[in-house]
Amino acid sequence: MDTMYINDIRAYGYTGALPEENVLGQWFRVDLVLTLDLSPAGLSDVLSDTYDYGTAVQIVQHLIQTKPFKLIEAVASELAKAILRTDERLSEVTVKLTKLSPPVPNFSGSVTLEITRDRAHLDTLSPASLLLDG
């Protein structure tokens, strides 16, 4: 298997456990690692033989901008599922999600989590995934 890295996707969204985060919003950064066989594209030099990473960028930006969540864990999980659903050639996706300015007193750093999901996770439902269908 091969690996495609898509780094530094930024989007402004309304995720957070505090009410003001859902109103004021904040910036998020996402890095993705996609696992798939890239040998067909390497041989053909044809776009349709690889994964169109623009699709993943659009999914990340759209979900963060339009779907409020309480936890970044839920955002990362839904991003992974949404990206896996775009192309059956993807066997696994790692989502590294950073909350660039978390509202923590006397803290000027960021908070990052990283999750890895494979196709088996597509069958799992969560309350957050129900929001995506509506």
What architecture is the 2-129 domain classified under in CATH? Answer: 2-Layer Sandwich (3.30)
What confidence tier does 92 reach under pLDDT thresholds 50, 70, 90? very high
**What is the arithmetic mean of pLDDT over 56-70?**
97
Residue extents of the structural domains in the chain? 2-129
Q: What is the DSSP string of 58-103?
A: HHHHHHHHH---S-HHHHHHHHHHHHHHH-TT--EEEEEEEESS--
Average pLDDT of the residues in 2-22:
96
Please check the confidence at residue 131 and state whether its pLDDT lies above 90: no
**Sequence-distant (≥ 6) Cβ neighbours of residue 107 within 8 angstroms:** none
Q: Is 96 a catalytic residue?
A: no
Question: Which pLDDT score is estimated for 134?
Answer: 44
Active-site annotation holder among 67, 70, 81, 99: 99
In which band, very low, low, confident or very high, does the pLDDT at 62 lie, cut at 50, 70 and 90? very high
Give me the mean pLDDT over the 55-77 stretch: 97
Return the closest-CA partner of residue 83 out of 112, 49, 122. 122
